[in-house]
Structure 1
Amino acid sequence: MSGSIFGKNLKISTWGESHGPALGVVIDGFPAGMELSESTIQEYLDRRKPGTSSVTTPRKEDDKVEILSGVFEGKTTGTPISLMIRNTSQKSGDYSQIASYYRPGHADFGFDSKYGFRDYRGGGRSSGRETIGRVAAGALCCTLLKKMGIELTAYTKSIGPVSIDPDKFDPSVIRENPVCMPDADAAQKAFDYIQKCREEQDSVGGVIECRIKGVPAGIGDPVFDKLDASMAKALMSIGAVKAVEVGDGVLVSTYKGSEDNDGFTSENGKIVTTTNHSGGIMGGISNGSEIVLRCHVKPTPSISKEQATVKQDGSPIDVVIGGRHDPVVVPRAVVVVECMAAVTLLDAMISNMSSRAEYITDFYKSKK
């Protein structure tokens, strides 16, 4: 199966299935010499693991990471880093009934059409559990970016009809509520709405926003490897994401040029933009402003409400999806968005180190 490798200089390759023995990731191209422990990675994995609140799947997994290679005496070695997370709470029997039909809203039919078979136990590679490898890799990238003064903050912007109030934005409460909103009042309303949908045997979607501060100007490329294009690919590769916006996103189609254009000025000898409609990226290259990304996440397709579909032979059937499922995937996907953005940004920054001849000559001159 192709398509499990992401990145140019920094490559990540995720592996494993939802109900297999384990899942994990191999990170190739990560620089040597960074201090790394399992606890650093675990902090990020704990943010996405199931069973942590009433708005997540009741599936209980510790999601404990094991470092198999690429780290020696607490530091990265520059060789491939292999990370593994064992599955400990599989209940494959919950999915045996769906082997004969295609679940509405799922990848079942497409997977079967492509490969001629499918792992019906929780979706196999199509399961949201695949993102555990992305988060493990992203934890390393976030750690290195932080050492460069770059901070990524992702959070839930909205769930269903409930949106945060920009005037009440408080990043300190993001991890203090089960829906990961930076607005305590909106978080309670969103929680109540999720519970209502759950009582109706339904699910709900939402929007995740990610803001990146401290990125220097000049990161990215002007054609196919535009920073925003790479970010869009990375974020759209997350299973439940159906749309990605950068900066003002779809709103720019309603603006005039005079309203959309970000001007430039000088502050304390540094060139900065006067506005940030572009979300920190112009012409595919960062301009030094805060990078703003937004992901629209669909409702969880597995719901207890009866739905019509067909069996593999095309005959109709009404189904109720069993198993353990999130009534909303948005809160657990917040850290996935953050980590995929970190992987993409670090890869672009490594590429940028060779964008000028002087960068290379100055580096090697300093070694003499």
Structure 2
Amino acid sequence: MKTFGVKNMLLITGKFPDVTSDTDGGSIMVSHLVEALRNKCTLDVLFTRTYNNNFINIEGVRKVTFHTNKVRNNNKFLRRLANIEWNSIEFSQLIPQYDIIIIIHCSKALGLEKLSQELLDKVVLFPMYLTSSYIRSNEIVPIGYTEAERKILLKIKKIITPSQSEKNDIIKDYEVAENRIIVIPIAVNSYIESKVRDESKANRLIYIGAIKKQKRNDDAIVLLSKLKEMGAESHLYLVGSQQDDELYAHCIDLISKLGLENDISFCGVLSQKEIAELLNDIDINISVSRWETFGRGIFEGLCAGLPTVVYNSIDCLFEYANANSGVSYVENINDMASKIYDLCSNPSFYKSQSQKAIENSPQFSIEKQKERLLQEILCSQK
């Protein structure tokens, strides 16, 4: 591997690299990037957020600035479209000052296609979530938003995605050349202790994921109700930030309607260390999401040795964990309840799934991820 000396780099992101009210996979990705790049380059960070005094000084970062959206709108797609000119003018003035620009989320790059190709070749884009993924998550995406994505994706020289399934989407939906898209799996929580579990001791379930439409958190509540009807007394821990107030209110109403007030814990945002500690006391890992671009929370449970039950529509999981890797893939919520019941009542099956689950750990190490990121962002292969 050959490096080209210290580079001036700008990281543009809407996520803070620490525990905040909206921490999610994007925040963790930003944290991993800052950790990987510190001392390897001269790094500046631009947050597309309102000013936050807690993040004006970040270890390994030379300068932090804030750029706030000019136009407000509760519809995120319309808000992003309305701020294209405002954001792209600001970013266009900054890009010539740097050797490399990393942009986290395609929405932050909208409008930059007007720049020269020479300047655009400096950009490394992490799309994070694109139209196909939003649609699979039951969201309505304006045609204009998809077209705005297309314009910039076709101009970017290097796109980094965590899964082959998202890469396939980018090629199919936007006709981006395959050689411009690099797949690097996301590292899981380094605090997690991988251990084989003998049986489900208290039928504690965990679902790691922000409260938002994509995650279908209300389905997890319905699932718990079905388990209770089957005689499998269980407790559900929902871990993640509250990003959709309407869905959260619906979840609270549903819990009351189903009489599950004592059976569900909303854990909110937890630090990586707190999540690892909670996983030690959990029995089964679940996801009721129908689509992920990677599924980091799912893999965290697996790496902890938790038998895992998910829907078979999450294509990206198959790349890293097949049906013989401690994961049970099911078709619908009734099948999921039945599979969890089997895990709770059959110690032999439970232990077998736990043993298989921990075998996933090596491929998601933070060191492997850092090495790949540095190779693709800062270096060239001999």
Task: Establish whether TM, by shorter chain, passes 0.5.
Answer: no
Give the structure, 1 or 2, with the largest relative contact order (CA under 8 Å, sep 6 or more): 1
The structure where strand makes up a greater share of residues is 1
TM-score by length of 1: 0.26
TM-score, normalization: structure 2? 0.25
| Higher helix content, 1 or 2 | 2
